[in-house]
Structure 1
Amino acid sequence: MRPPLRIAVLECDTPLPNIDARYGGYAGVFTSLLKESAKALDGPDKLDPESDLVISKWDIVNGEEYPKLEDIDAVLLTGSKHNSFEDIPWILRLVEFTQQVLAQDRVRILGICFGHQIIGRAMGAKVGRSDQGWEIAVCDMDLTDKGKELFGRDKIRIQQMHQDIVSTCPQGVTLLGHSPRCAIQGMYLPRRFISVQGHPEFTGWMETEIIQTRAKAGIFKEEMAQDGLSRTDNEHDGVSIGTTFLKFLLEE
């Protein structure tokens, strides 16, 4: 019998108050996604969402403690409002830890948005501001041949919330997809990691909360905010992306 899948969620930020109150941090947000994704699995990959997923949360922004690799099977790096390219202590610690995980061959990594960029940085790729500006709300991600194979479709629709990007795919890493505003939308290294620039974990309600908050703060201009809000509730493939993540973690 296969033991439970032990996933350490490294919380790289705290959600907005309304989201935090509903889910209990980004670990709660991802627990919701992964449980829904587990329900969609069948056949040999089938997981009981309640007993086969053991998800722990680690506040790596305010604390310095990281999980021991022998105690987990996977690490999930969340999104963040912080800049992945900054040389501040907690981000430097995260990059170093990511390099340690990549250097071994058992524990695997899932990277989302900021986490996707941290993986790129840990592998020597340049990360920084996009000259295309923000990409927000539900957008199409065109897939490469490997992306189509892994995600089981020709393109995926995914919630976006970023202005930073990975500029080049690290050596030996496979590009999974791209969009008009972002050339590196996903990366893959067999039995090591899979990452996406978008947010499969975001619901339309979460995305709306973020866009409205950032519009009120003057981060988003009215026209951009309204364009994003018009697409937050569009159908997207978050749960399907989550099932791909779980299959990747279960692959022998």
Structure 2
Amino acid sequence: MRPPLRIAILECDTPLPDADSRYNGYGGVFTALLKSSAKTLNQSDRFDSEIDLQISRWDIMNGIEYPKLEDVDAVLLSGSRYNSYEDVPWINRLVEFTQSVLAQDRVRLLGICFGHQIVARALGTKVCPSDQGWEIAVCDVDLTPEGKELFGRNKLRIQQVHQDIVYECPPGVTLLGSSPRCAVQGMYSRRRFITVQGHPEFNEEIEDEIIKHLTEEGVLSETQAQEALSRVGNEYDGVFIGATFLKFLTED
């Protein structure tokens, strides 16, 4: 696939107030990531992020309209505060739409956190709460040999905010990496999809707001919050991961 690259971002939630006012939804958060990532590509892969990235946004929580596959080249499923395994109409519609993307061989798929889990569910794999608890802030992901080949390094550092996990890698799908709290940190199928459990689109400010919100809501203890906040500003590979996504979407 060569530019222009038409990417449909499916917004599966709304950011917390500070991030929402800064980026105008998760579509804005991902647009910022993808444009920053495009600028880091090698000259042979470079394309104009203002012209060759044609991004559309779809509020699939509050609406029932989805992009037509003939009008896009890629679909990105965002994260969400909701549980990907819930039996509710909008999540069930999303699973069905994801299955329709997986059933064809042109439009490629990116799944982030909740989106990663939705792809797994669409493939018939169990998604459930982890018995290891929350994984939050910048964490290391140990890559498999296939993950090392795809990303070109031995591990990834990525912002995390999740308690739910993909229980096991679906048959015929390549496992990209794991961490002590999550065995399936990413999945890959050549020319079909890449998913990651973490949040390459999150920066320190977004993550900080989430951690403080979860603490105020009583979801995290003060001890958990302080430990997470001590790592939230660590170096992470978000833009690098975004560049890998763009290479995947444009490779022949």
Q: TM-score range by the shorter chain?
A: over 0.9
Q: How does 1:15-26 map to 2 (within 5 A)?
A: 15-26=15-26
- Give 3-state SS (helix, strand or coil) of 1:18's partner: helix
Determine if the alignment matches structure 1 residue 111 to structure 2 residue 105.
Answer: no
Structure 2: distance between partners of 1:47 and 1:213: 38
8 Å contact from structure 2 (residues 84, 91) kept in 1: yes
CA drift of 1:47 comes to 1.5
1:192-223 Cα shifts (integer Å, max 9, x gaps):
10000000000011100000111011111000
Match of 1:157 in 2: 157
Can you give the 5+ residue segments of structure 1 that lack an aligned partner in the other structure?
none
Determine if the alignment matches structure 1 residue 54 to structure 2 residue 54.
Answer: yes
Structure 2: distance between partners of 1:144 and 1:4: 32
Structure 2: distance between partners of 1:3 and 1:204: 31
CA drift of 1:44 comes to 2.7
Instruction: List structure 1 runs of 4+ shifted beyond 3 angstroms.
Output: none
CA drift of 1:43 comes to 3.2
Match of 1:212 in 2: 212
Determine if the alignment matches structure 1 residue 138 to structure 2 residue 138.
Answer: yes
CA drift of 1:2 comes to 4.0
| Equivalent AA in structure 2 for residue 193 of structure 1 | F
Matched pairs, number: 252
Match of 1:232 in 2: 232
Structure 2: distance between partners of 1:13 and 1:193: 21
| Equivalent AA in structure 1 for residue 74 of structure 2 | A
8 Å contact from structure 2 (residues 13, 61) kept in 1: yes
Structure 2: distance between partners of 1:103 and 1:141: 29
Determine if the alignment matches structure 1 residue 250 to structure 2 residue 246.
Answer: no
Match of 2:128 in 1: 128
% same residue: 71
CA drift of 1:42 comes to 1.5
Match of 2:64 in 1: 64
Q: RMSD over aligned Cα, in angstroms?
A: 0.9
| Equivalent AA in structure 1 for residue 19 of structure 2 | I
- Give 3-state SS (helix, strand or coil) of 1:109's partner: strand
Structure 2: distance between partners of 1:76 and 1:226: 32
Can you give the 5+ residue segments of structure 2 that lack an aligned partner in the other structure?
none
Structure 2: distance between partners of 1:135 and 1:47: 35
- Give 3-state SS (helix, strand or coil) of 2:147's partner: helix
Match of 2:29 in 1: 29
- Give 3-state SS (helix, strand or coil) of 1:94's partner: helix
Determine if the alignment matches structure 1 residue 45 to structure 2 residue 45.
Answer: yes
Q: TM-score, normalised by structure 2?
A: 0.99
